[in-house]
Structure 1
Amino acid sequence: MKIFDISKFTEDELLQIYNSLNSWQWNELLGEKPKNWDSMKRWHNSIIGRLFLKSKRDIISPINRQIRDEVGLNKILKWHWINNLGKTKEEYETWISNEMANNHLRF
């Protein structure tokens, strides 16, 4: 079930959005922040909180799940390695090959 319409975004925009949300930051490409976003808790530990109060995780998780389903984990990880970690494509390819060879990661 799609919660948020991501069809209007390019792949690179989706990767930027995923990265922002994964860091608990609202991305301006998504439009206006949800009400009370800045004061909203990241998640709720109590059952009462989880049942009755909205958290950032409640909003982020479905959007990032959609993005992950659309672009795939490999592209998300590659984008992170190049843009956040400052690594090269070759360094990413070496790392991902090692992770997959050692059964630490599967796609």
Structure 2
Amino acid sequence: MGIEIKLSDQQLPVTPVFVDFLNHIVDGQSFMGHEWYDQLNEKLNTEQQNLLLRANENARKVIDSPLGQQALVRAYELFVALLVGDIAPIRELQFKFHFMPRQKNSWVVFGAGSAPSA
């Protein structure tokens, strides 16, 4: 006897922050200048309201883009893998990216085959 679990985007919608992240990838925008990467000097996010206002427009751009569609499908695949304990897709990510402590609670992330910059 098995259990079938189906989740749709209605039960588990993407967040405006994730839509903004995907929109940067689809549009080829740089992530530099965003506050999230600077963990040592964290401050309140002043862009949250603007991000919420742009969410519907950005979601449409992401959904209309093949790259955006691919990223959404991959995100849900990884979520389901975490949910059911399927380690193969997670292992793939683990071997693709390496994490190295930098300062206190901050981390340097670099892809396989790349070296950290000095």
**TM-score computed with the length of structure 2 as normaliser:** 0.28
Structure with greater contact order relative to length (CA < 8 Å, sep ≥ 6): 1
The structure with the largest strand share of the pair is 2
When Rg is computed on C-alpha atoms for both structures, the one with the higher figure is 2
Query: Given the two structures, how large is their TM-score scaled by the length of structure 1?
Result: 0.30
**More helix per residue:** 1
